[in-house]
Amino acid sequence: MPLTDPLTHYRCPLCQLMLQSSPSGYQCANRHQFDRAKEGYVNLLPVQQKKSLDPGDSADMIQARRRFLEAGFYQPLSDAVNQLLATALADTATFRQTITLLDIGCGEGYYSHRLQNFLHTGCTQEAETNASDTTTQVSLYGIDISKAAIKAAAKHYKQHQFAVASSYHLPFMAESFDSLLRIYAPSQSDELARVCKAKGWLCTVTPAPQHLFELKQRIYQDVRLHSADITGEAGFCHQQRQQLSWRWQPETTTQLEQLLQMIPLGYRLTPEVRQLLLTDLPAITLDFYLDLYQRQG
């Protein structure tokens, strides 16, 4: 049985009242009931918010992503996110007993778990240095519209709270989170602003211009680069941008196959181009923007 946060921040996706945690799941005062799956997650995605029968990334994409991420190929990105948020949250951590985090479009939980672990370790060390009796607790929630992703996340990382939900209708009470993380997933500013505490943080990761350039070159005649514009998020002030780029050299066909399986671009390759790529094993540019926003107070 996973640990449950007694202070549930969930709200009912049907009537918006707070959800109370019980051994079998969650319930609102209007008696809408959401069972906890055996893996520990809860499904808070009502049918009317589903655009297809099985939305989001498929089980195959999730499996490939897990293997690729666990091999550490995107670890520089995860480390940079952790460092950015740890610095931003440093003041908050000093004064609060609990830091609550939400990873939006968390996939199979790789970044979520590493972030929680990093902040928890930092808070424990700080408490030891200051000979303090109380350590700040770091509580992490992750949502994704893909049931396969959430199932995989909950199975692997039992200490966090995972829910199937849409980023456009976040099933959380207002001002629940000290920080939001959004890696690649879509979202709506109003919803982000609603669930974030005043002066809380939003970290987004988006592709920078050269991301996957060598793959695009083989698919499109005219390669269109990703935009370098900074997207405004209503209710937040943009604070800083970091660009993180490196060239990844696949060493085996399996490694490259995993990358191709976990990105939508991989599904656009013709069998011939795919074969050529797997034979050539070209170095591939990975290029990201990390943007940090602060919720207006």
Ligand X SMILES: C[S@@+](CC[C@H](N)C(=O)[O-])C[C@H]1O[C@@H](n2cnc3c(N)ncnc32)[C@H](O)[C@@H]1O
18 in contact with Zn ion (CB under 5 A): no
DSSP state of 53: S
Kind plus residue range of the DSSP H or E element containing 155: helix 147-156
State how far the Cα of 162 lies from the Cα of 13, in Å rounded to an integer. Answer: 15
In the bound state, the residue with its beta carbon closest to Zn ion is: 12
Residue of 48, 290, 89, 120 lying closest to 200 (CA atoms): 89
Which among 25-33, 66-74, 90-98, 138-146 is the span making contact with Zn ion, rule CB under 5 A? 25-33
Least separation in angstroms between residue 183's CB and ligand X is: 4
Task: Name which of 166 and 261 has its Cβ closer to ligand X.
Answer: 166
Kind plus residue range of the DSSP H or E element containing 294: strand 284-295
DSSP state of 146: -
Least separation in angstroms between residue 61's CB and ligand X is: 8
Task: Name which of 69 and 93 has its Cβ closer to ligand X.
Answer: 69
State how far the Cα of 108 lies from the Cα of 144, in Å rounded to an integer. Answer: 9
Task: Name which of 36 and 65 has its Cβ closer to ligand X.
Answer: 65
Chosen from Zn ion, ligand X, none, partner binding at 107 (C-beta under 5 to 8 Å by type): ligand X
Task: Name which of 33 and 227 has its Cβ closer to Zn ion.
Answer: 33
Chosen from ligand X, Zn ion, none, partner binding at 167 (C-beta under 5 to 8 Å by type): ligand X
- Cβ atoms of 248 and 284 within 8 Å: the answer is yes
State how far the Cα of 196 lies from the Cα of 266, in Å rounded to an integer. Answer: 34
Chosen from Zn ion, ligand X, none, partner binding at 184 (C-beta under 5 to 8 Å by type): ligand X
Chosen from ligand X, Zn ion, none, partner binding at 15 (C-beta under 5 to 8 Å by type): Zn ion
Chosen from Zn ion, ligand X, none, partner binding at 112 (C-beta under 5 to 8 Å by type): none
Q: Which residues, at least 6 apart from 24, have a Cβ–Cβ distance to it below 8 Å? A: 35, 36
Task: Name which of 57 and 233 has its Cβ closer to ligand X.
Answer: 57
Least separation in angstroms between residue 194's CB and Zn ion is: 18
28 in contact with Zn ion (CB under 5 A): yes
Chosen from Zn ion, ligand X, none, partner binding at 13 (C-beta under 5 to 8 Å by type): none
Q: Which two tokens stand for residue 229?
A: 């514009």
Q: Is the dihedral of CA 256, 257, 258, 260 positive or negative?
A: positive
What is the contact surface with ligand X in residues (CB under 6 A)?
56-57, 65, 105-107, 110-111, 144-146, 149, 166-168, 183-186
Q: Which of 10, 12, 44, 256 binds Zn ion (CB under 5 A)?
A: 12
State how far the Cα of 4 lies from the Cα of 141, in Å rounded to an integer. Answer: 11
42 in contact with Zn ion (CB under 5 A): no
Give residues in contact with Zn ion (CB under 5 A): 12, 14-15, 28, 30, 32
